[in-house]
Amino acid sequence: MFKRIKYLFLIFLTGTATSLFSQTQGTLGKRFFDNWSAGIGAGPDIFFGDLKVHQFWPANNNMNEWKFGGTFTLTRQLSHVFAIRGQFLYSELSGTKRQYKNGTPCNEYFDGNLLEVNINTTINFSNLLASRYNPRRKFFIYGTIGLGTSSYNTNVKQLGTGLPLRRSDSLGNWTTVAMGMAGIGAYVNLGDKVNLGVEWTLHGVNTDWLDDTQGGFHYDAYSMVAVSITYNFNKRNPGKEPDTNRKIYLPVYIQIPAKDILPVVTKPPAVVPEKDTTFMDTLSENFGFPEEKDTADVFTGEPEKGLTFRVQIFAFRNDKYSALEIREKYNLEEVVSKEFSDGWYRFTIGSFSSYADAIALREQVQKRRFRDAFVARYKDGVRFSAHGKK
């Protein structure tokens, strides 16, 4: 039995490993009802027991041993490695035996129905074995192991004539036994919400009577290869890990050419902004982060040549982050500008010749929880300092 399981495992692993990369979909939610997904699948179900022609491959002539079943799964993602899953499986089963090992004719086959309920855990091998977690992975391979119950009924008939010989209890009743299962699967993300996968599982039951025949197989078994589609109930995946240290700030976008966007190869640490008290808001002579006392009639009339306005969102004493890391951290589709002066590394967005436009952007950003954002003034690309010097 264990030798057969080993061969099945190696064949399936070889077939999938050559065509798929082991990766998984990214961001986990923080609420209990986040990280749920539901899926359906279907595929062939093959019986292993006493009434069987070949040890592995199903027979398909005289009596076809190929049967098909369907599954429904409900999954709760616990981490980027582990998930717990409830599964319902319904399938038909069939097996055929034409003669015994000593050559004596048998000429029996059975038809059966199977209803299985199990709870299993999935282990994401990609994230488990990877040197670092990559939220942008699209493909992954996982393993699964679980326990449950299988309910079945079986009708044994004579091969060729179809005459009934025996059956498990009565066909109106189901026999329930304990079962254990293990398998391996692969998923590909078709988008933020939908995964397409294939999964092979082997199910062993705590009985030798699944085919209503007792013999060399002390524990009958069946395997299933199912193609499945899964829907994720999480919000849209931004392709980044959530910031667990600070609340998330929503950004404002500016237009840049797509060719300037480069990938981030490492995950930046949590962004903890500091207060920049060396530059003043354009509307105020006070240093630091001013209160809401700007008006739209400041800098009215014709704009001064070379004068522009930007909105500052972050400032750091140390050179911890690049502009691209800030952009990736908050899933910005546009670029963030970075500059250094007076001992501060500052990050700004937007560039306007109209002061009113800069104020509108600042108010929009503050409503989106960049509460410390303010407007900075530039002359020919050079920032006005807090002391009035360019």
From CA 328, how far away is CA 238, in angstroms rounded?
10
CB-based contacts of 51, cutoff 8 Å, min separation 6: 95, 96, 97, 106, 108, 109, 110, 156, 211, 213
What is the reported pTM? 0.54
Q: Residue with structure tokens 């990609």? A: 126
Given this model, what pLDDT does residue 144 score?
A: 97
Question: HEC states along 322-374?
Answer: CHHHHHHHCCCCCCCEEEEECCEEEEEEEEECCHHHHHHHHHHHHHCCCCCCE
Q: Which of 346, 370, 360 lies closest to 248, judged by CA?
A: 370
Task: Answer for the pair 166, 108: CB distance below 8 angstroms, yes or no.
Answer: no
Q: At 229, phi and psi to the nearest 5?
A: -130, 135
Q: Which residues pair with 175 in a beta bridge?
A: 152
The rounded average pLDDT for each run of 10 residues, N- to C-terminus, in the chain (390 residues) is: 44 36 50 84 92 80 82 92 94 88 86 94 89 76 96 89 82 85 93 89 92 82 95 66 46 55 55 56 39 42 77 85 80 73 86 88 78 86 60
2-232: CATH class: mainly beta
The amino acid that residue 314 corresponds to is F
Task: Answer for the pair 384, 378: CB distance below 8 angstroms, yes or no.
Answer: yes
Given this model, what pLDDT does residue 74 score?
A: 95
258-383: CATH class: alpha beta
Task: Answer for the pair 90, 133: CB distance below 8 angstroms, yes or no.
Answer: no
DSSP secondary structure code for residue 7 in this structure: H
Q: Residue with structure tokens 């104020």? A: 359
DSSP secondary structure code for residue 74 in this structure: E
Q: Which of 287, 185, 225, 179 lies closest to 67, judged by CA?
A: 225
Q: Which residues of 169-178 are buried (b: 16+ CB within 10 A; e: fewer)?
A: eeeeeebeee
319 CB neighbour count, 10 Å cutoff: 9
Q: Which residues pair with 201 in a beta bridge?
A: 183, 224
Query: What are the structural domain ranges in the chain?
Result: 2-232, 258-383
